[in-house]
Structure formats: C-alpha cells, structure tokens
Amino acid sequence: MVREEEYSSINLEQSIVEVLKHPTVSSKSFLITIGDRTVGGCTSRDQMVGPWQTPVADCAVMLTSFWRKQGVALALGERPPIAVFDVNASVRMCLGELITNILAAPVHNISDIKLSANWMGAVDDEFSNYDLYSAVSAINNICVECDISIPVGKDSLSMSAIKVENNISKKVRSPISLNLSGVSKLNDTEGIWTPCLDRDIQDSCLIFLDLAEGEKRMRGSTFQSVFSISSGKCPDIDSVKIIKAFSKACNKIRLYEKKHSTKLVHAYHDRSDGGLLATVCEMAFAGRVGITINLDLLTIDSVAKDWGDFKIRTEQVSERRDSLTIATLFNEELGVVLQTTKQQRSALFDIFRSVGLGEHIFEVGSLNKTDEVVFYRDAKCIFRKKREYLQRIWSQNSFEIAKIRDNEKCAQDELDSVADVTSPDHIIEERFKERFTGFVERFQELDAVREETATNHKSIKKVPKVAILREQGVNGHREMAAAFHQVGFNCVDVHMQDLISKTFDLSRFDGLAISGGFSYGDVLGAGRGWAQVVLANNFLREAFFSFFCNPEKFVFGVCNGCQFLSELAPILPGKKEDWPKFSGNISGRFEARQSLVEILPSNSVYFKDFENLILPISVAHGYGRVEGFTNENESVKSVLRFVDLQGRPTESYPYNPNGSTSGLTGFSSADGRILMMMPHPERNFRGDLFSWKPKSWGGAGDFAPWALIFENVYKWIKSQ
C-alpha cells in the first residue's frame, strides 16, 4: 500500500502505462464498431473522430431534420469509483463531467440540458437508504443552482450478491451511484468540437482550463486504483459559478468565431477518467501527432503559489514536485484542454478572463513533429515515448477482447493500424482536382430543387417517381427517401405487402430504391428471406422481372437492398452467375465504420463524372464479402472498391471492413441502370452527416458529393 504523500516513489512511466491500459480509460473500439451508428441518416457526431476514426468523442449530435441545422446533443456523466468514498461528491462530479462533455457541442445555455438519472445500488439497510437520500439531495441542489431539470430517470436498487468463502456467506453490495444522460437542443449544429488535434496548424498551442480551481484531489482516481491506494480527498465541485462561467465562455468563443469567420478552438477534450494524462494522450491518438507538455505551471506548490496567468519563480519549486507531477497528471477533477494557435491565443485568453476564469487558464504545450508524447518539468524531459507505443497500450484491451470474439488476424490488423499516420485528405483532394468547383456548384443548386419540389404541389405529378421499397426489419428507408427527395424525386413509401395486395403497381414507378436493414432478421441469410418472397410468388416474380428488364427504369439497392438484389440474380438481366454473392464479413462481425471507396470507370448512370474519385462513406453490414468476382463477364461490372489511406485498392482490415476480393463493394448492370452497393451513400448526402470529412470541403457549406449520384439518376430519368 502506497500512501498519498509517497507518490514520488512511483515510477512515472509505469504509472502512465498502467493508467492508459486500465479498462476505464482504454479504447472501447471493440464495442463501438459492432453497432450501427448512422442508421436514420441524422447522425452528425458519433463516437469516432478524425480521419483515423478514434473513439474519443465527448458527445453525440443528432440532427432533428434532414434539411435544417437544428439538432440535439447527447452526453453522459458517471463517476462510480468516487461513490465508494463520497456519494455526494460522486453525483456532483457526474453532472460536471456531463456538462464538460456536452459543451463540445454548441449548447446555448446549460439550462437547456435535460437529464435522465439512473440510480444504482443496493438499498437494503438504513445506511444505504441514507446514502441514497443524501445523493438525491446533492444532485437536486446542484441542479437547482445550474437551472437544470431531471424530468426522467430509473433505478436498479437491488444490486447485491451473495459470495460464499470457506462456507461463510458474504453479501457484496453496490455503492449508491448515479449514471446521468443529458440532452440539449442545438439551434445550430455547426462548430462541434472534437478531441482530434489538427497537426497541420504550424503555430499550434495547447491550453488547459482548470475547472477545479487548483485542487488535485486523487481519491477514487484510476491512478489510485491501479496502485491499490485509497487515501486523500475525492474530486468535487466546490462552486457552481465556475461551471456557469465556463458555459458562458464557450458561447462567447463560438460567437467570436462566427463574427470573425475564424476558429479559436481546433480541438477540445475534457479531463475525466485517467486525468490530464489521458486527455492529452487521447487528443494525440486522434490526431496521430506528437505533443510536448510543460507541467511547470501546474506543479507549483499550492502554499507558495502566486496566482497569475503566466507567473512562476524559482522559489516556488518545492521538494514535493514529484508528487505534484503525479497528482497533476492523474487527478480527475473537472477541466478541459483546447487546441488553438499562438495568433489566436490572446483572443481566447481574453474571453476566459472576461468571465472570471483568467487565473485558471494555462498554456501547457504544443505539437511536435517527432510523433512523441513528451512531458517537461523544470526544463527537463521527464517522459518521452512514441505516440504509437502509447496508443498500442491504450488499444490493447480492445484488441484482446476482439481477438477472442472476432477473427484474430483482423483484430491484430486493426491494432497495427495505429502506426498509420497518412491522412486521406491529400488523395481525396488530388482525385477531385478541377472537378471540385463544379461538384460544389451542382450541390448548392439542390436546395432550390428541393424547395421547388416541396412547395409546388401541382408539379409533384410531373416529377419522376421512385418507390422506396422496404420489408419487415428494414430500417433505412427514411434516409433513402430523403436523399432522392433532395434532388427532386417524388418518393413513395412502398412495403412488400403493398405489392402483394396490389395496392401499388410497380410498373407505375420510374425507379426502385431498396433500403438497408435486417429483413427477417437475416435469419435465412442476408436478403435471402426477402428475395424468396418475390421468387416464390409468381405475380411478384413477373412484376420484378419486367421492371428489371425495362430499359427506362432504374434500380438501386444498398446494404440489405444490395443483398436482396443479389439473391434475385435469377430474374436480373444477364447471367445469374455473373452477379456477386455476399457472405459474412471476414472479421466475423457486423462492421459499422466510415471507410474510403474509389469509384471505378463505368457507364453507370449513377456515377457519371465520378470516375476515379476517392470519397469517405458510411458502412454498416455483417454480410458484405464478395469473393471470386471478375470484371471479365459482360453483364455485370464492378463500380466501387475499398481503398486504404494512400488510395490503394485493399483487402486489408479495417480499411476493407468485409474482406472482399480486391476491395470490391459496388456492382452495376452492363447498361448502368441497376446498381447494388454495400456502403451507404444515402447516409452521407449532407456534409454534416460525415463522421469525418476532408478539410477541402470545409468552405463548401454542407457539400456532400454522394448527393450527386441521386441527381445523376434524376437527370437520366428526365432524359428518357
């Protein structure tokens, strides 16, 4: 057992390694990539950030409309380790963590936040009853001060178990703890901050805002847990004023950015599990860049400290610096780290001073070109390790679980991918070249088209009509309809039962769009049960066959719709053996990622003018692998393939999430009318629907090139 005053005896490197690999801090990628985060087509911010898709986002953001910038932010707050020692401090820190998380989104006022409180514990004696009463009172009081309401909640208050050792029964009981979920309306979803450092900013600097007013309380921290320490005081919120001031500062920063058309904050991350060490490391991991941190201003003895923004004297350096270094790096008090530029630093500091936070803001570091995480104190380097080495440690837990659950080689490949520092920005921009301006202009004209379609009801009968086809288990029909509607189509929701009952006549439609999802739960195979509904019904079989063979009709199948079309190969144009067959992903798991694809030269009506472009796109499927397909057949051509960060066709995981031969993931009929593809362009038809997008698109509003494949089909239909 190590006492708090003996932190100086603990090796710093060992501390960093142990904290980064602790389950509360380490990567949770294995949990995130198996969940569909883009279904519905309104996800503006998910867990993954940056071109390398690192799972460190502070909050989630969902749009509330396909066409407007309004949305909602969602964030979480939980501090159960503190609850073991001080339940009241624990619930207050839950709220503080939630607020510092959700303010990564442009929340106008913290009073806009609404909470759901999930209480955990074992309430079976007077002591735990008192703890629950005390905790509820504590969260009530601080929420009243912050003008935040808790309209909903739930509880699990029977969390105890009997453990038998040496014929002696012992009750193991959960402490009273709180998990908070918070949502807030967003009047504008522009300007969401992420932890991804921008390594292209030459004069970059890192700013630390200490919302604990200099406190470094360590009890309940990850550091104390890994070294079996249990001493000192718990982190807490001593004053709500500083939280309110921080909220005002965030609003002022965003107003300044809009007024001056510039960015003050290029990256943002809160201090939480793992302390400042985890905060800055996760920012470096997301940006694949080295950082150099100077701890001098943060390790001043609290007794000798002379408050001021940049003041430090030699006599302030005490013999307790080693212990203070540990406490500075690993305390889990409230705080945030921001990336700004030296040029904009003064403006940022002025904003924090204007709300009374001037004495709590410190410049602590910068980026380096050696891809290393470096800590300095007293002009000496006290820690230096490669970013890749630390990120491997941070990713190790996720790897160990994934290699047991999934394909072991895929798990290893994903772990090895942390060494890749190539950003796809360059290859995407290079492939566009002079086409970019024309693409942007075409996209900007779509708003007028959509408004005309929406307001001029008399013309609705004159525009092309597309059937948005769905079946039991399909969940991607709304975003599919939105993507087609944006370019001028009249979209009609058509269920398979509507065709069976002859409510709709398929031949009356100009196009057929088949949405993604899990028809019949994929129980009979991906898309197979859905296809059998058609193939086993003579009326439907003939209707679909006639539609597929009509040279004036188009067909578009995405994900489950793609698999559905593949299973309908017997009635598709050409030889049925020429059409691809889809099997389970090579990882053995459902894969939800943002990947890079290259559009191949073809006569596809969808990809006119798209040849050789490389674009990011959402992927969400469990059965997407194609093997043995060849472009030598005459009736079916490949039009889309996965590429790596250098733009090379790839079968390597995770760049190719399903393991298809040559990365192939999109296929077209010989005449270009029928397209089946596994990725989801309909979930990326607006610029704010990308988890990450190239910087070159930043000045082009909501530009999303995938919207134009739907426009291409519209133009083709109008020309018939």
**So which residues are the catalytic ones?**
559, 680, 682
Rounded CA-CA distance 338/616 in Å is: 27
| Residues near 441 by beta carbon (within 8 Å), at least 6 away in sequence | none
CA geometry: angle at 226 spanning 225 and 231, to 5°? 40
Can you say how many angstroms the Cα of residue 534 is from the centroid of all Cα atoms in its chain? Answer: 37
Kindly provide the b/e burial profile for residues 477-500, where b requires at least 16 CB atoms within 10 angstroms of the residue's own CB. bbbbbbbbbbbbbbbeebbbebbe
SS3 state of residue 659: coil
Q: At what angle do helices 477-486 and 707-719 cross, to 10 degrees?
A: 60
> Cα separation of 274 and 20, whole Å?
7
Render the burial of 537-547: b for 16+ CB within 10 Å, e for the rest: eeebbebbbeb
Question: Do 63 and 70 meet the contact criterion of CB atoms below 8 Å apart?
Answer: yes
CA angle (704, 39, 669) in 5-degree steps:
65
> Hey, what amino acid is at 57?
A
How far apart are alpha carbons 485 and 477 in whole angstroms? Answer: 12
Question: Distance between CA 606 and CA 598 in Å, rounded?
Answer: 14
Is there a contact between 355 and 248 (Cβ–Cβ < 8 Å)?
A: yes
Q: Contact at 8 Å (CB) between 695 and 50?
A: no
**Which distant-in-sequence residues (6+ apart) come within 8 Å of 171 by Cβ?**
160, 161, 162, 163
Dihedral sign for Cα 628, 522, 544, 664, please: negative
Residue 607 φ/ψ, nearest 5 degrees: -105, 30
Contact 383, 16 (CB under 8 A): yes
> What would the two tokens of residue 255 be?
């107003």
DSSP letters spanning 286-325: HHT-EEEEE-GGGS--TTT---SSS---GGG--TTHHHHH
Whether 617 and 38 have beta carbons less than 8 Å apart is answered as: no
| C-beta of residue 291 within 8 angstroms of C-beta of residue 366 | yes
Q: Which two tokens stand for residue 398?
A: 């996720």
Question: Residue 285: which of 25, 62, 45, 106 has the closest Cα?
Answer: 25
C-alpha–C-alpha distance, residues 170 and 154, integer Å: 28
